[in-house]
Amino acid sequence: MARENQGWGYFRIRGELLKVGHQVAATTIRSVLLAAGVPPAGRRSQLTWKQFLAAHAETLVATDFFSVETVFFKRLYVLIYVHLASRRVLLASCTSEPNASWVAQQARNLSWKLEEKGSNSAS
């Protein structure tokens, strides 16, 4: 049970065993698991960075800020937001003179766009 359900601790396993008619103390479960080389639930359920990103991809947005040289030797700065799960561009903006207020406004634009998207899907 502990290997198949990485997040289950001793008390959860005890509860599941009680449901099927086996009365075992949590300390007994702990002793059996430790003897079998199975670490406590907190150590079993630690996520790798790849697993963490996969688990939270629906709520993560990646941001990139880079510069581009134009044909006319003018430098433009691009700010882009990408939803990780769908890999869709949520917002892309460019300017020739970035400053803190411009970047802040782009973040506000993104939050407004996400609010609109959320209210449209709710209706």
- Amino acid (one-letter) located at 68: V
| Neighbour-count burial of 108, counting CB atoms closer than 10 A to its CB (0-12 exposed, 13-18 middle, 19+ buried) | exposed
- Amino acid (one-letter) located at 117: K
pLDDT score, position 2: 82
CB atoms within 10 A of CB 14: 20
* Boundaries of every domain in the chain: 10-46, 52-122
Q: Where are any strands of DSSP class E within 32-108?
A: 61-69, 75-83, 88-95
> What pLDDT digit, counting tens, does each position of 2-58 carry?
888 877 888 889 999 999 999 999 899 989 988 988 877 766 556 778 888 888 888
